């Protein structure tokens, strides 16, 4: 860190001992929850206010350094991996719920507020925050904004973008701006909409106004068992075709179902080839009718058993199983690579079977748990990272899954973002003109590519990023 002595000295004028430079802490922040390693963190700044974020940004500018914002580090696409030894701006300490306006149904929160903590705060007041990623026990609102995160209940309620009204942002030149607003019909360009999903490349979030959702008066949760994942996928398509839009529809195959049951003992059937967790909410009469129709559609598509949660406690237990599925795979293998693509519902069963074939071709185990209602696949490739050459096989299988999804008319990501994981595939989905306009948008916010460089826009379309990418291991690029 000797070359950074002056930078560290100036950062400490702003944050004091909340600037961390020891190798152990920097090593912890050289990666996120993805399989991508090889980042190099510069000084770590533990900011506690928007003013501190602004002052750190101005200091970085003075020293010609890039910055990377970081929340809980739960991202799965390498979006928080620091490339080129940037200043890492940690927002984890900015974790206050600032204001809740029940009449307007708006809450102002800092970016470090944990998703589930916000809902726990709102539930006694009769509200919740609708986006509910599987990592909601640890992921933060700032990270949700960065990746436009989804979750099981976004089938009916929409992803994060639909629940964000305004965002306070520190731009890459140190300017503090408010994007969006609380007006019902805002004027001008929707810069808020452009910013959500920007993966930290357009600035750093310091405050968010989120829309809060009333708790539904009635809920029905069903667990349907099938002999095969294809039957479960067919049921999902048939439910939507029947004009029913459940709050959530989640599918898990047999191997992950057994792992979950071993892990948390929630009552999932071990003998089912796949299970479908479906939930409807709303007014009592309509909810009961929709639940009956889903059960009938499921049985018509081969459901061998249909179980309804008899109480809210049982409902929460069923959802606990789904939300802990990724942790449960540790029983099967020490490492996993969780993918994220979206395919048309009509091609869901076909692509799902292709995923199993790809895993077999690369001699890998795979389990599938996914947001079936909107075709958002989440295959988990299971492996032991200590095995020589394993990462080459894992990345090759991952690339094949992405290709199969795109070939089926799908898209690169439903909620995890592009980061560095899907960067090499961007020019397969987008034309050169598309990518040029994306880069122009990015430069409109950040002309110097100072904020989270080296992400999303592929090499050859963003010359300012090439230097920062030299430290990225070759295998990251597939």
pLDDT at site 143: 97
**159-179: average pLDDT:** 97
Whole-angstrom distance, CA of residue 449 vs CA of residue 84: 12
**Does the pLDDT value for residue 1 go beyond 70?**
no
234 pLDDT band, cuts 50/70/90, is very high
The contacts of residue 432 (CB under 8 Å, 6+ apart) are 461
Q: Are residues 113 and 205 in the same domain?
A: yes
Domain end among 299, 326, 353: 326
Q: Tens digit of pLDDT for each residue in 397-438? A: 999 999 999 999 999 999 999 999 999 999 999 999 999 999
**389-394: average pLDDT:** 95
pLDDT at site 469: 45
Q: Helices 348-361 and 229-241, interaxial angle, to 10°? A: 160
Q: Are residues 84 and 101 in the same domain?
A: no
Average pLDDT across the chain, whole number: 93
Evaluate whether 381 touches 397 at the Cβ level (below 8 Å).
yes
Q: Are residues 297 and 376 in the same domain?
A: no
For residue 164, CA distances in Å to 106, 138, 142 come to: 9, 19, 11
Evaluate whether 252 touches 233 at the Cβ level (below 8 Å).
no
Evaluate whether 172 touches 203 at the Cβ level (below 8 Å).
yes
Q: Is residue 416 part of a domain?
A: no
Domain end among 187, 214, 241: 214
Domain CATH number, residue 156: 3.30.465.10
**100-114: average pLDDT:** 98
Evaluate whether 406 touches 62 at the Cβ level (below 8 Å).
no
**Does the pLDDT value for residue 475 go beyond 80?**
no
Closest among 112, 129, 111 to 120, alpha carbons compared: 129
Residues pairing with 376 in the sheet:
342, 371
37 pLDDT band, cuts 50/70/90, is confident
Q: Is residue 412 part of a domain?
A: no
Q: Are residues 163 and 108 in the same domain?
A: yes
144 pLDDT band, cuts 50/70/90, is very high
pLDDT at site 460: 72
Domain CATH number, residue 74: 3.30.43.10
Angle formed at CA 255 by CA 253 and CA 256, multiple of 5 degrees: 70
- Taking phi over 0 as left and psi of -120 to 50 as alpha, with beta for the rest, 213 belongs to beta
**Does the pLDDT value for residue 108 go beyond 70?**
yes
Q: Is residue 418 part of a domain?
A: no
Whole-angstrom distance, CA of residue 175 vs CA of residue 186: 22
465 pLDDT band, cuts 50/70/90, is low
Domain CATH number, residue 279: 3.30.70.2190
467 pLDDT band, cuts 50/70/90, is very low
Q: Is residue 413 part of a domain?
A: no
**Does the pLDDT value for residue 451 go beyond 50?**
yes
Closest among 276, 270, 273, 279 to 309, alpha carbons compared: 279
Domain count, the chain: 5
Q: Are residues 378 and 298 in the same domain?
A: no
Evaluate whether 339 touches 398 at the Cβ level (below 8 Å).
yes
Q: Tens digit of pLDDT for each residue in 261-312? A: 999 999 999 999 999 999 999 999 999 999 999 999 999 999 999 999 999 9
Q: Are residues 207 and 227 in the same domain?
A: no
Min mean pLDDT across 39-48, 329-338, 457-466 is at 457-466
Q: Are residues 47 and 122 in the same domain?
A: no
How many other CB atoms are there within 10 angstroms of residue 140's CB atom?
Answer: 29
Whole-angstrom distance, CA of residue 429 vs CA of residue 446: 24
Residue range(s) defining the domain that contains residue 223: 218-326
End-to-end CA distance of the chain: 31
478 pLDDT band, cuts 50/70/90, is very low
Q: Are residues 85 and 111 in the same domain?
A: no
Q: Are residues 444 and 364 in the same domain?
A: no
């Amino acid at each position: 860190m000797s070359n950074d002595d002056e930078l560290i000295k100036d950062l400490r004028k702003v944050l004091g001992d909340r600037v961390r430079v020891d190798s152990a802490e920097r090593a912890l922040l050289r990666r996120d929850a993805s399989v991508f390693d090889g980042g190099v963190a510069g000084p770590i700044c533990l900011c506690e206010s928007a003013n501190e974020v602004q002052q750190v940004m101005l200091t970085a500018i003075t020293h010609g350094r890039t910055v990377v914002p970081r929340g809980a580090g739960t991202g799965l696409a390498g979006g928080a991996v620091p490339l080129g030894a940037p200043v890492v701006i940690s927002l984890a300490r900015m974790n206050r719920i600032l204001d809740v306006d029940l009449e307007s149904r708006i809450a102002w929160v800092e970016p470090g507020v944990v998703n589930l903590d916000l809902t726990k705060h709102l539930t006694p007041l009769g509200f919740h925050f609708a986006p509910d990623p599987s990592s909601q026990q640890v992921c933060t609102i700032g990270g949700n904004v960065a990746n436009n995160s989804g979750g099981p209940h976004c089938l009916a309620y929409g992803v994060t973008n639909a629940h964000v009204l305004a965002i306070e942002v520190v731009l890459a030149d140190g300017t503090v701006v408010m994007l969006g607003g609380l007006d019902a019909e805002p004027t001008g360009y929707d810069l808020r909409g452009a910013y959500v999903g920007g993966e930290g490349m357009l600035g750093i979030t310091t405050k968010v106004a989120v829309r809060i959702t009333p708790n539904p008066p009635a809920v029905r949760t069903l667990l349907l068992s099938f002999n095969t994942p294809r039957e479960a996928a067919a049921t999902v398509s048939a439910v939507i075709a029947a004009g029913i839009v459940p709050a959530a529809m989640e599918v898990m195959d047999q191997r992950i179902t057994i792992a979950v049951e071993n892990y948390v003992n929630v009552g999932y059937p071990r003998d089912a080839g796949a299970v479908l967790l479906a939930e409807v909410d709303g007014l009592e009469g309509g909810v009961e009718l929709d639940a009956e129709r889903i059960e009938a559609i499921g049985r018509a598509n081969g459901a061998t058993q249909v179980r309804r949660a008899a109480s809210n406690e049982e409902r929460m237990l069923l959802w606990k199983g789904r939300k802990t599925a990724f942790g449960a795979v540790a029983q099967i293998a020490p490492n996993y690579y969780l993918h994220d693509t979206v395919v048309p519902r009509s091609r869901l069963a076909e692509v799902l079977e292709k995923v199993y074939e790809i895993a077999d071709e690369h001699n890998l185990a795979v389990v599938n748990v996914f947001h079936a209602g909107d075709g958002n696949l989440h295959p988990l490739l299971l492996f032991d990272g200590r095995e020589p050459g394993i990462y080459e096989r894992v990345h090759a299988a991952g690339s094949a899954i992405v290709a199969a999804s795109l070939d089926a008319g799908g898209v690169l990501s439903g909620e995890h973002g592009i980061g560095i994981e899907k960067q090499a595939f961007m020019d397969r989905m987008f034309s050169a003109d598309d990518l040029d306009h994306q880069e122009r948008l990015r430069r409109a916010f950040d002309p110097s590519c100072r904020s989270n460089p080296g992400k999303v826009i592929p090499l050859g379309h963003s010359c300012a990023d090439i230097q920062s990418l030299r430290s990225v291991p070759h295998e990251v690029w597939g």
